Chains A and B, each alone.
Chain A
Amino acid sequence: MFNLKFSLFSHTKELEQKIDMLHDKIIEISLVFKKAVTVYLKEKRSSEYRHLSKNIKDIEHDADSLRREIENRLYMHNLIPDFRGNILELVENLDKVINEIDDVAHKFYIEQTDIPAIYHDKFKELTEQVSECVENLAVASRSFFRDLSAVRDYAKKVYWLEHESDKTSAKLKEAIFASDMELAQKLQLGSVISEVADIADLAENCIDQLLIYVIKRDI
């Protein structure tokens, strides 16, 4: 029985580390994404952008393997039976955010969207809001495992940043569609902006779920 308990403890510890690593990956990908967009705006598909884009892809792969390992371990070792379903959902929602960041970075790489210089500042602002939103999501999610009372604070930040990113993306689209650009370019830019803003929307969905888990855990 002591052997059993010892192995349960080691599984618990390993899973704790995997969950922490997944959160690290989210923070890392949001920072790399912010840098990649800045580089793209300056140099378009330069070698540095290619390097950053590859970096994003690698982080996404690592996060995928971590997610699978977390899910397998949760069920294989029968850990936290009452919250297993919720943690599974949370991990999958976090993964959706990571995938979306990877998709957007790849979209820049493939489509090589031409963003006129007059929109660069607003575009940077939008990217910063989205990136910060994702970072706060990662911290909120990490807090869910250690300090429930802190989740609400970070959730508030996520909501605020998502709202700000909505406003920025709306202003950007308004300016673009009011310009003299070709309709095709307007539509392509509008689509890129929507996808960047979608990252924050996914983070917001994730936080909505997280707050429900907090209430459930608090009962």
Chain B
Amino acid sequence: MELTYLFFLSSGLFLGWSLGANDASNIFGTAVGSKMVKFKTAAFISSIFVIIGAVYGGQGGTETLGALGAVNALGGAFMVSLSAAITVYWMAKIGISVSTSQAIVGGIIGWNLFSQKNTDVSVLTKICSTWILCPLITGIVAILLYLILKNIIKKSHIHLLRQDYYIRIGLIVSGALCAYSLGANNIANIIGVFADSVPFKPVRIGQYFQLSGLQILFLLGGISISAGIVTYSKKVILTVGNNLMKMTPLVALVVVLAQALTLFLFSSKGLQHFLMSHNLPTFPLVPVSSTQAVIGAILGLGLLKGGRGINWNITLKLILGWITTPLITMGICFVSLFFLQNVFNMTVYLP
């Protein structure tokens, strides 16, 4: 059973690998590109914190994805992941950085359509609203952070060299926080669809340390993201950063920090409980896109400076990519499920 499960899981792990390869650039792209942080340091820190985030904070987003469509057969889960991975890979190849979250949602809806299960419209609306909310919130957070930090720097008269030192430390710390949030928030995209059929038994390490079956699944997903970061992200990291807008180290720090905070808002169960207990509006625990968050932050800062430095052609291309990604994945998933069921005689859903 576990071997078959691992075979099907391979598509999820492939998606994890491509997420790691692509999204590491959102975490450390500007820091490494501007030579503030070495690639080795960036890869080491993000790999460790992505795994910790996935294992300890991955549950919230997974529950929401499960509510959208509980992919109840391994064959179906395999194809949902594979179609998302194909779309992300293809879009990346033609130079559009897309969201794994959108791809996986498109895949799940494709599965829902194929298996004639109802898509929960309220959950879908909740998820789609975050595709606008996430870049919007990150943009606002980035503007606020930038104004605060800029003001602190202006008033404190810190030496340029010391500023550089503090920004370097800030980039490493916020990069680690961002990697944790990415793991916690995006692990649901990678192997969330396999959560319903998890075969692993809980493992106890030492007296206090225990991993549930689901956490072992998250650990595998986290390792696949780390593998993507270590093996393939360098090229993406070195090309990202200055495409959309020219960035100074301070802007780079603000972008990463705003991204980390936003991903945290959309994945922290603790924060949700805290807000609920104080009768405050809560953030939906939905896997959001780190790419969208980064772009939201960059656009926010670009607009703060009058919008002169923004490359609007690339921006429009990205937005177009965001609209087409879920639709393309849905189409690929629907057609592939048909083949998987009728040509390979596989069970892709349970009635």
Q: Which residues of A contact B (CB under 8 A)?
A: 1, 5, 8-9, 12-13, 15-16, 19, 78-83, 144-149, 217, 219
Contact = CB atoms under 8 A, between A and B. Distances in A.
Contacts of A80: 160-161, 164
A144 B248 contact: no
A81 B159 contact: no
Interface in B154-175: 154, 157-162, 164-165, 168-169
Given A81-B35, A81-B36, A219-B248, A9 B165 contact: yes
B67 to A, nearest CB: 41
Q: How many residues of B sit at the interface, in one of the four size bands?
A: 20 to 34
B201 interface: no
A12 B248 contact: no
A219 B161 contact: no
Contact of A8 (B157, B158, B160, B168): B168
Contacts of A13: 162
Given A12-B164, A12-B165, A219-B305, A82 B248 contact: yes
A210 to B, nearest CB: 13
Given A78-B35, A79-B161, 8 more contacts: A80-B160, A81-B34, A82-B34, A82-B35, A144-B160, A145-B160, A219-B248, A219-B305
B246 A219 contact: yes
A213 to B, nearest CB: 10
Nearest to A20: B159
Contacts of A149: 154
B305 A16 contact: no
Contact of B164 (A5, A79, A146, A148): A79
A15 B161 contact: yes
Contacts of A145: 159-161
A136 B181 CA distance: 49
Contacts of B248: 82, 217, 219
Nearest to B150: A218
Contacts of A79: 161, 164
B321 interface: no
Contacts, number: 48
Contact of A148 (B34, B154, B162): B154
Contacts of B199: none
A127 B89 CA distance: 69
B213 interface: no
A146 B161 contact: no
B34 A146 contact: no
Which 4 A-B residue pairs are closest in the complex by CB-CB distance?
Answer: A81-B35, A80-B164, A145-B160, A12-B165
A92 to B, nearest CB: 17
A81 B32 CA distance: 11
B331 interface: no
B249 interface: yes
Contact of B161 (A16, A78, A82): A16
Contacts of B160: 80, 83, 144-146, 217
A102 to B, nearest CB: 28
A16 B34 contact: no
Interface in B128-142: none
A147 B153 CA distance: 9
A12 B249 contact: no
Nearest to A145: B160
10 contacts: A5-B169, A15-B161, A79-B164, A81-B34, A81-B35, A83-B160, A145-B159, A145-B160, A147-B157, A219-B248
Contacts of B305: 219
A16 B159 contact: yes
A145 B164 CA distance: 11
Contacts of B249: 82
A153 to B, nearest CB: 14
Contact of B157 (A83, A146, A219): A146
Contacts of B164: 12, 79-80, 83
Contacts of A83: 160, 164
Nearest to B38: A78
B154 A146 contact: no
Of the candidates B159, B169, B305, the one having the most CB atoms from chain A within 10 angstroms of its own CB is: B159
Given A219-B248, A219-B305, A8 B161 contact: no
A217 B160 CA distance: 10
Interface string B33-46: 01110000100000
Interface in B168-208: 168-169
A15 B159 CA distance: 11
A78 B35 CA distance: 8
Contacts of B246: 219
A78 B160 CA distance: 14
Contacts of B41: 1
